[in-house]
Amino acid sequence: MQVLGFRPTRMMNGSMYLPSVETIVIIGSNAPYMGSVLKRSSGGVGCAVATANSDKMMAYVVGFIVNPGNANLPLRTIDGNTAYEDGTLTKATTGDTFTAASDNVTDKQIAVAVMYSDNLVVSAYTSATAGTTTGSNKPGYFIDITNSYTLDETSASTSSAQFLLLEGINANSCLDPNDPSGRRVMAVANEIY
């Protein structure tokens, strides 16, 4: 599946060994998307999608897990089985979304499988073709999110922001070398929780 959002690719030091996948319970009524960037929930239990340019980046969603530690199954395999799930899984070829029930933290405990954002380079989807706004296709510029799975192409600047754009197809371009659309850039979380 080729998700729209954030795709982990490598570590900042060049290593292709990605961090281990961990699980975090989704707080009630939250709706992470496959490829979303997450923030820590305000109560410290579980996680929530990052949607504001003031949010600090914590991790990227790479899957949905049923009852981690016990059933520990991918959500797609049991979707609709009310013994394990009481939220809503919306399947899509561009990435699934799961809307957690209001009591998810204490009841079914559907979790996201995540990779933590610290020093993890991602291929990030932009709100418009990179380069439309000056600097949005240049390594060394900064950029904010517009929602949990899209960078705001119009926010590119030389001032610090949530993500730092990195070298992509060459030293002068942050475009993802594996995506010819011009809508994906190489970046690393700059403002981390």
Cα 191 from Cα 98, distance rounded (Å): 25
Cβ burial of 158 (10 Å; 0-12, 13-18, 19+) is: exposed
pLDDT tens column, 151-176: 999 999 999 999 999 999 999 999 99
Tokens of 164: 């730092």
Q: Domain spans of the chain?
A: 15-116, 120-189
Q: How far apart are CA 102 and CA 29, in angstroms?
A: 5
pTM score, two decimals?
0.93
For 86-125, the pLDDT digits (tens) are 899 999 988 999 999 999 989 999 999 999 999 999 999 9
The rounded distance, in Å, linking the Cα atoms of 123 and 150 is 11
CA distance 28 to 105: 6
